[in-house]
Chain A
Amino acid sequence: MPVWAAAASPSPLWWRSRGQLTTMNEWMKKSPLEWEDYVYKEVTVVASEKKEYKGWFLTADPVSANVVLVNFLEDGSLSVTGIMGHSVQTIDVVNEGDHRMREKLTHLFMSGDYKGHSPEDLEKKKNSLRKWLEKNHIPITEQGDSPRTLCVAGVLTIDPPYGPENCSSANEIILSRVQDLIQGHLEAYPPEGQEL
């Protein structure tokens, strides 16, 4: 199929993807309205190679049919998983969700500030990060109103939602060190179970 024709909706059988043709599976054949039906619900997804995922359905990309799930972790942080459209085999709703969850999920990614996290999540996140930094021998204090700002050695501040980009300091060396530490705290799981 010529490249320019791909601007329209995909043809019935083939999912064009920059020269990589894949046959469409059942999930990819669904309409946007059918995909939208899963939003804000908790689902389990079975993907290729018997991989299973569970989480709150945030969205499906209409272009690639990729599914985005969100999980709220115990330390207040979020785990976001994208499952490629071509590997989705089955998807089942396990929880219809409620208004509170809907509110929480709607604001995710929508604003640059911390509206996506609830006050409890922010508190947990702050405490989790604080413990991690203290473990790494960084002196931490807190200041301001809730959600509180973390303060390192009086020269660096960390505002909510306590990501590497929320650090502020005039001292480049300390800034770089603390940003790396925070990054390490959120580091992707190290490769395990590799087959060589």
Chain B
Amino acid sequence: MQSPPGIPVPVPVIRLPRGPDGFSRGFAPEGRRVPLKSGGSELQEGPMNEDSPETQEQRARATLRERYLRSLLAMVGRPVSFTLHQGVLVAAHFGATDLDVANFYVSKLQTPIGVQAEALLRCSDIISYTFRL
């Protein structure tokens, strides 16, 4: 064990140089996963503009998505008819879809070669689906 250390020596902090636009830190602008709310400086703040196109678009997106999710909810457990490629029609009981609606989880799938207890239908294989309420 060494003797207790004295006042620690400050270590120089290495900062990435500022990018060509003057305020970023070397991150590529298109590397952002979430696009900037206002096209331009991240430092821009101020009262949220209710009528900004981005807000309107986001509101529309939210409403449309909520409606769609509710339509999926209404389908759960009900018999649904799927139109697949090449005129193939199959019927099944709807279970669920995943987040991107890429796969449809169904049960009691009636196929031309028999009834499948559980199955996953890929969205790319489906043209449309229909059910009655």
Contacts and interface: CB of A to CB of B under 8 A. Distances in A.
Do A and B come together as binding partners?
yes
A7 to B, nearest CB: 6
Contacts of A36: 60, 63-64
B79 A183 contact: yes
A interface secondary structure, majority: loop
A143 interface: no
Contacts of B73: 109
B interface secondary structure, majority: mixed
Interface stretch (A81-89, A131-139, A168-176): A81-89
Contact of B98 (A9, A18, A48, A78): A18
A21 B83 CA distance: 21
Contacts of A18: 98, 100, 102-103
A54 B98 CA distance: 27
B89 A191 contact: yes
B117 interface: no
Contacts of A161: 133
A20 B102 CA distance: 8
Interface of B: 32-35, 56-58, 60-61, 63-65, 67-68, 70-71, 73-75, 78-81, 83, 85-92, 98-103, 110, 112, 122-124, 126-133
24 contacts: A5-B33, A17-B124, A20-B123, A22-B124, A32-B58, A39-B64, A49-B85, A60-B64, A61-B64, A77-B132, A77-B133, A78-B133, A79-B131, A79-B132, A80-B74, A80-B75, A80-B131, A81-B128, A83-B127, A87-B126, A183-B78, A186-B79, A187-B79, A194-B112
